[in-house]
Structures are given as structure tokens and as C-alpha cells.
Chain A
Amino acid sequence: MRKGRYGVHGGQYIPETLMNVVAELEEAYHHYKNDRGFQEELTGLFNEYAGRPSRLYYARRMTEDLGGAKIYLKREDLNHTGAHKINNVLGQVLLAKKMGKTRVIAETGAGQHGVATATAAALMGMECEVFMGEEDTKRQALNVYRMRLLGAEVHAVSTGTGTLKDAVSETMREWTKRMEDTHYVLGSCMGPHPFPEIVRDFQAVISKEIREQLMEKEGRLPDAVLACVGGGSNAIGAFYHFIEDKSVRLIGCEAAGRGVNTAETAATIATGKPGIFHGMKSYFCQDEYGQIAPVYSISAGLDYPGIGPEHADLYDRGRAEYVAVTDDEAVDAFEYLARTEGIIPAIESAHAVAYARKLAPQMEKGQIMVINISGRGDKDCAAIARYRGEDIYE
């Protein structure tokens, strides 16, 4: 069995220049993973700084409205910085600090992971540089300002399509230039081994808490767990502690953009095929010659042409289901959750809410569904208003 494999997926498809730094990371991670001091420090940051554990909230009005399964929302949107991203960055930046690194670099799409990384870097006194597609720096100017406010330097990436995949490529290139003092804080459960494992482990706190909280509230496991999937970090975090419990349906909701039958989609499982990119073997949106496809979704956080290798394997094994949700459905769900529960979800998370609206009525009244609300939607309000034809700007 080769290292870092999830079935046939995963691996370490990176330039030789990076192999030793990745090996050092793996060694350090496996040391600190079992180090009580490290884990206590991380738990302290989770609880005292990020505001964990996040609530598991019973969505009564949504449950009654849909008339099927009992719906709980896992409120990752209530974390500091407004999304699940903080779980991973606190873990990785702490790890980098223990490794003696003084500088962190990160890619970001909409800016959520960049803001989270800049936050953790500020907290722990690290230098921080964030790479963001030029298009995205324009669409998300406020997040660029946030990162600068937190002391990070933001580089606009103009190569390729100027979006998330190019930001990942550029951050990898930067890492091959300077790795001695620098850790790459990868933002999702993707990339070369050991990143998919590290990110999953730091995000797995989500499913650990769901399990404990639901046991307390209902004395049983859920029947279904739903989460949106781009690279898939909030989903793998929400799924992880249920993977061995075959009675729990695990459902990843991908961004179909304008539809899986159009070119303007980012639904990797629905439209992609096996490939090798950004350090890993997995499913990717690509053409017949393996050229990576330009993808599209209204949600910048799901606008990525690949999916983490553990998801690819869960799909191959039939352990998790992956469904595609269009922009229209996600925007409807964004508004629905705001009006029904007074919660404005991130447009990413709204993809999971959208599928829940279809699935819940088909489930029995005694059944339990958990939706991971991975982030809050304040950042999306202006874009959704424009989508609805209202001309407002941030």
C-alpha cells in the first residue's frame, strides 16, 4: 500500500523539490497528532478563540415546513471568522509554529480561507502571504482588505483563469521557491499527502461534536448528514466520525452552476473523470486530453475543478453520495433559510440546504437529518442581491 492513498486516489504528485519538505511535514504531523500538549493547546484555541463547540441547532420551522425528517443545523457559521475554515488553519498554523516555521502562505478563492489564515497568523505572530486569483480580488475586495487589516500580504494571481485553481498553482510555485521557513496552509482536504489527512483530522471535530451533541439530544445517530463539497473539507469533517456507521447516509452537495449539462458547472463527481492534478489523484473536470476545465459556480468557495481524494474514494466505494445543486436552487435555499430560521448561510452551505429541501420530505418523520452550515452568508449578500437584479455593492 502506497502512502497517502484512499483507494486508488491521493498520492504525492509534486515536483521533487517539494518532496523533502512534505516528508518533514508528515513526520512532524504524526508526532504532534499524538502529542498531548499539542492537542490540548489546539483544543484550547478551538474553545477559547474559535468559539467551539459550535451549536447543533434543531431547525423547528424548517422541519415543520418540509414535513419529513427532523432537521438539525450544525452551526459552523458561528465560529470565529464565520466558517469551518478556522478549524484547519488553527491546527496547521500551530503545527507550522511547532516546526519552527516563521511564515505561512495560502491560496484563497472567495477569501474565506485567506482571512482565516491571516487571522491565525496574526494570533500566532507569523508572517502571512495569501495568493488570490485576480478575478477574485475584484469580486471580493472586502476580504482583500480584511486580510491586509490582519497583517497579511495579498498577491493577485493573473496567470491562467485568475481563479481558485490558479491561486493553488501559484501558492505551490511559491512554496518551491521558499520552503525552509515557510509552511503552505492548504485550505481543503486536497493536494499531496499528508494534506488531505491533516485537513480532515482538523475538520473532524465537526462530526465528533455532531455525534456527541445528537447523542445527548436524541440518544441516537443521525440518518443523514449533508454538506456542500468543493474540495470537500467541511464535508469530510462532517462525515468522518460516521463513515463506519453504515446506517448514516453521507451526502455531499456539489455546485452544478448553471447545470451539469452545461459547461458552466463545478460538479466534479457529476461531470469529471479520474485525473492527477495539484498533487493528487482524484476526479477532475477536464477535457478529453486532460486539460483542466475552467469551472463555474455562483459560489466562489465551490468553484474548483477537483475534489479531495478521500471523497473520491467514498464515492467509488458507494459509502457517500454526491448530488449536484444549481445556482438557482442554492440561491432559493439561501433565501429560504434566512426567512424560515433567521439564519443567513454562506452560499456554499446553501447548496446543502437546497438538497435538504428535496430530501427531508421523502424521509420519515422519526428520522434525523443534520445539515452542516459551513459558513455564514454576510459575504454573499451583495452578490445574491445582484443575482436577483438588485444593484447593490459592498
Chain B
Amino acid sequence: MSRIETVFQNKKAFIPFITSGDPDLETTEKLVYAMERAGASLVELGIPFSDPTAEGPVIQEANLRALSHNVTTDRIFGMVERIRENSQIPMVFMTYANVVFSYGTERFAERAAKTGMDGIILPDVPFEEKEEFAGVCRKYGLDFISLIAPTSRERIRMIAEKAEGFVYCVSSLGVTGTRSRITTDIGAMVRQVKEAKDIPCAVGFGVSTPEQAAEIGAEADGVIVGSAIVKLCGKYGKDCIPYVEEYVSSMVRALSDEDRPCG
């Protein structure tokens, strides 16, 4: 069992996403500690990309803010090294194929593993293209996280059978960003995954409120929230830490109140 899978044992996992370097890398580092204190199980660290095609406006803008401050992949690796001196919370990178490919996929995976990352999520790399990245990740002990979407239908089995770490269940059509209602049958999606493989399922895209988290927590193993947190970073800048910590606490509480067994 990878370190990622252990976070789903005996509890519902809350998985926050933040864009590295928004507003700066120092704040990102402090945010990781604050979110760990607040009870986050695993942290998704975004590496900014100039043209994030799977993101809604909130995370697009965070990407551009970070890049405008000269945040680079190398400087983010440096930040991860510093975090690892203080925290062992599991962390995965979320970025786009070109960031990894242009760095050199092998060089990227080696460096990520060495600095203490646990996995990689690339939303523009579907099942058919994943081996180019997943093969290299495997060599360095990183989980390459697979995504399934409301449109995946018969593809779910094929994707789940080869999935590692956890399955990222995309709750809604469209791009990242908060939604007032999630209409996809999350329970059915999760069941289809588990029929193919006994692997944790975390649900993201559109989730922002404790109520939504509790509802999803009843059917899945974890909840992923990005835009709602990135919005706080955008609004409060370097002063965002207490706000994010409080928000993550509220989401973690909502998930633990709703601690029914699932799958």
C-alpha cells in the first residue's frame, strides 16, 4: 500500500488543492502546515501552467498570478524540500503534461520522488496516453493518479483496473470551479470503480460547502476542494492562512460527522 492509500484508512479524507506560488512560495509552504493542522489528509500542490485548459477562472487566475512572480518548477521543488523538513503529510503534484514533459519526464519524476512527493495528477493525460508518464512514475515509486468523469461510462472499468493511489472522480462536466449543485450520481460512479478494483475514490470539481462535503463523504472515500480555497488565497493574499485553516477545519469536521462506512 502506498502512502497515499493509507490516508483513506478508517476515515474520510479531505484533500485541499492550492496553486504553488500564489501569492508566493513562502505562503504556500505555510499553507501546507496550516492545512495539516486543520486535519487535511493529503495536499494537492498545483504547479502553475500558462494555459490550464481544465481549470475555471479562479484557478486560471491563480496560475497566472504565480507565474507573474517568477514561480518555476525548480523553485517549487525547493519549496517541497523545505516542507519535508517539517511535515510528512502526503502530497501530490497537480499540473499539466507539458510542465512534466518539458522538464524531462524522467528527470521530473526522479526529482519529485527525491524531494518527497507521493504522486502526480495530470488532467490532460487520459488513460490512452498515461503509460508515457505512469511508467516513469512507477520506477520512482510515485503514484500516477487516474481521473474518471461523468462521461466515462464503459471506460471506468478499464481506468480503475490500472489505477494507483486513488481514483479522482470528476463530479461534473466542465472545468474546475464551485457549483451550487452536483447532479452526477456519485454513488454509482464510486460503485463502478470499486467493482473493478478495491481502490479509494476521492471526488472533486465543484465542491465547496461543508454540506456538499458531507453528502459526498457518505458515498466516497474523500473530497477534493480547489477553487474554494484558491479563491481565499486570491482574496487575502499573504494573509490567507487563518482563513484557509478555518475553512479546511470546517470541511474536515463535516466529513468526520458523516462517518458512515462506504463501498
Contacts and interface: CB of A to CB of B under 8 A. Distances in A.
Contacts of A21: 151
B102 A16 contact: no
B127 A16 contact: yes
Contacts of B103: 289-290
A11 B101 CA distance: 14
Given A15-B123, A20-B155, A169 B51 contact: yes
Interface stretch (A80-88, A108-116, A234-242, A271-279): A271-279
Interface residues of B, number: 41
Interface in B32-79: 49-51, 53-54, 56-57, 60, 64, 67, 72-74
Scoring A11, A12, A286, A289 by chain B CB atoms within 10 A of each residue's CB, the highest score goes to A289
B91 interface: no
A19 B98 contact: no
A2 B128 contact: yes
B126 A15 contact: yes
Contacts, number: 118
Interface string A1-18: 011000000011111111
A292 B51 contact: yes
Nearest to A290: B102
A17 B129 CA distance: 14
B173 A178 contact: yes
Interface in A259-306: 273-279, 281, 284, 286, 288-292
Nearest to A173: B175
Given A16-B170, A176-B174, A165 B51 contact: yes
Contacts of B125: 13
Given A20-B152, A289-B72, A12 B128 contact: yes
Nearest to B147: A16
Contacts of B149: 15-17, 19
A17 B50 contact: no
B124 interface: yes
A13 B124 contact: yes
B158 to A, nearest CB: 11
A173 B155 CA distance: 21
Contact of A292 (B50, B129, B155): B50
B207 to A, nearest CB: 16
B101 A169 contact: no
A247 interface: no
A160 interface: yes
A320 B96 CA distance: 30
B148 A16 contact: yes
B230 to A, nearest CB: 15
A281 B174 CA distance: 23
A178 B173 CA distance: 7
A275 B173 contact: no
Interface residues of A, number: 39
Given A20-B155, A177-B173, A278-B53, A13 B129 contact: yes
Interface of chain A, main secondary structure: mixed
A11 B128 CA distance: 9
Contacts of B151: 16-21, 179
Contacts of B170: 15-17
Nearest to B99: A290
Scoring A3, A177, A274, A276 by chain B CB atoms within 10 A of each residue's CB, the highest score goes to A276
Contacts of A178: 173
A172 interface: yes
B19 to A, nearest CB: 14
A263 to B, nearest CB: 15
A129 interface: no
A177 B205 CA distance: 12
Contacts of B141: none
B181 interface: no
Interface string B124-163: 1111110000000000000000011111110100010000
Given A13-B124, A19-B127, A276 B72 contact: no
A15 B97 CA distance: 11
A166 interface: yes
A18 B150 CA distance: 10
Interface string B85-108: 000000000001111111100000
A273 B56 CA distance: 28
B126 A160 contact: no
Nearest to A174: B174
Nearest to B54: A15
Given A20-B152, A289-B72, A290-B102, A159 B129 contact: no
A159 to B, nearest CB: 6
A160 B50 contact: yes
B101 A290 contact: yes
B165 to A, nearest CB: 16
A284 B99 CA distance: 13
Interface string A174-211: 00111100000000000000000000000000000000
B98 A277 contact: yes
A163 B251 CA distance: 38
A261 B101 CA distance: 25
Nearest to A276: B97
Interface of B: 49-51, 53-54, 56-57, 60, 64, 67, 72-74, 96-103, 123-129, 147-153, 155, 159, 170, 173-175
Given A277-B98, A291-B50, 10 more contacts: A12-B128, A14-B126, A15-B54, A19-B149, A169-B53, A278-B53, A281-B101, A289-B99, A290-B101, A290-B102
Sort A-B residue pairs by CB-CB distance and give the 9 closest, nearest first. A290-B102, A177-B174, A17-B149, A276-B97, A290-B98, A291-B50, A16-B149, A292-B50, A276-B98
14 contacts: A15-B53, A16-B159, A17-B150, A19-B127, A20-B155, A159-B57, A160-B60, A166-B51, A169-B51, A173-B174, A273-B102, A290-B98, A291-B50, A292-B51
